[in-house]
Amino acid sequence: MTAFVVTPRAPAGGRLQVPGDKSISHRALLLGAIADGTTTISGFLAGEDCLATLAALQAMGVQIQRPEPTTVVVEGVGLRGLQAPAGALDMGNSGTAMRLFAGLLAGQAFDTELTGDESLLRRPMGRVAKPLAQMGASITTVNDRPPLIIRGNPSLHGIDYPMPVASAQVKSALLLAGLYAGGETCVHEPAPTRDHTERMLTQFGVAVNRAEDRVCVASGQSLQADAIAVPGDLSSAAFFLLAGCLAPAGGVLQMAGVGLNPTRTGILQILQMMGADIQVEQQAGQTSHAEPVGRLTVRPSTLAGIEVPPELVPLAIDEFPLVFVAAALAQGETLISGAEELRHKESDRISVMLDGLRALGVAVEERPDGALIAGGGLGPGQVNSGGDHRVAMAFAIGASVARGPVSILDTANVATSFPDFARQAQDIGINLRVNTDD
Which residues form the interface with ligand S3P (CB under 6 A)? Answer: 23, 96, 167-169, 172, 194, 317-318
Angle, in degrees to the nearest 10, between helices 266-273 and 320-329:
10
DSSP state of 412: G
Burial of 68 (0-12, 13-18, 19+ CB in 10 A): exposed
Nearer to ligand S3P, 266 or 375 (CB): 266
Nearer to ligand S3P, 11 or 314 (CB): 314
Distance between CA 413 and CA 3 in Å, rounded?
11
Helix-, strand-, coil-residue percentages of the chain, each rounded to 5? 35, 25, 40
CB of residue 375 vs ligand S3P: minimum separation in angstroms?
Answer: 26
CB of residue 402 vs ligand S3P: minimum separation in angstroms?
Answer: 27
**Which residue type does 311 have?**
E
CB of residue 194 vs ligand S3P: minimum separation in angstroms?
Answer: 6
Of all residues in this chain, which one has the CB nearest to ligand S3P in the complex? 23
Distance between CA 414 and CA 422 in Å, rounded?
9
Which residue from 151, 60, 147 is spatially nearest to 109, judged by alpha carbons?
Answer: 151
Distance between CA 171 and CA 152 in Å, rounded?
19
Which residue from 55, 1, 58, 47 is spatially nearest to 24, judged by alpha carbons?
Answer: 47
Nearer to ligand S3P, 334 or 416 (CB): 416
CA distances 187 to 158, 199, 211, 213, Å, are: 10, 15, 11, 8
With a CB cutoff of 8 Å and minimum separation 6, the contacts of 298 are 240, 241, 244, 245, 252, 253, 254, 276, 277, 278, 279
Q: What are phi and psi of 226, to 5 degrees?
A: -150, 160
Nearer to ligand S3P, 96 or 108 (CB): 96
Nearer to ligand S3P, 219 or 261 (CB): 261
The residues assigned a catalytic role are: 318
CB of residue 43 vs ligand S3P: minimum separation in angstroms?
Answer: 16
Tell me which H or E stretch contains 35. Answer: strand 35-36
Q: What is the CA radius of gyration of the chain?
A: 21
Nearer to ligand S3P, 229 or 378 (CB): 229
CB of residue 120 vs ligand S3P: minimum separation in angstroms?
Answer: 12
CB of residue 123 vs ligand S3P: minimum separation in angstroms?
Answer: 9
With a CB cutoff of 8 Å and minimum separation 6, the contacts of 215 are 171, 175, 186, 187, 189, 195, 198, 208, 209
CB of residue 167 vs ligand S3P: minimum separation in angstroms?
Answer: 3
CB of residue 261 vs ligand S3P: minimum separation in angstroms?
Answer: 11
Distance between CA 326 and CA 322 in Å, rounded?
6
Nearer to ligand S3P, 234 or 255 (CB): 234
Contact predicate 21/259, CB 8 Å = yes
CB of residue 23 vs ligand S3P: minimum separation in angstroms?
Answer: 3
Nearer to ligand S3P, 316 or 432 (CB): 316
Query: Could you give the maximum distance between any two Cα atoms of the chain, in Å?
Result: 62
Distance between CA 192 and CA 353 in Å, rounded?
25
Contact predicate 57/25, CB 8 Å = no
Nearer to ligand S3P, 226 or 346 (CB): 346
Cα 231 vs. chain centroid, distance in angstroms?
13
Interstrand relation of 112-115 and 89-90 (parallel, antiparallel or unpaired): parallel
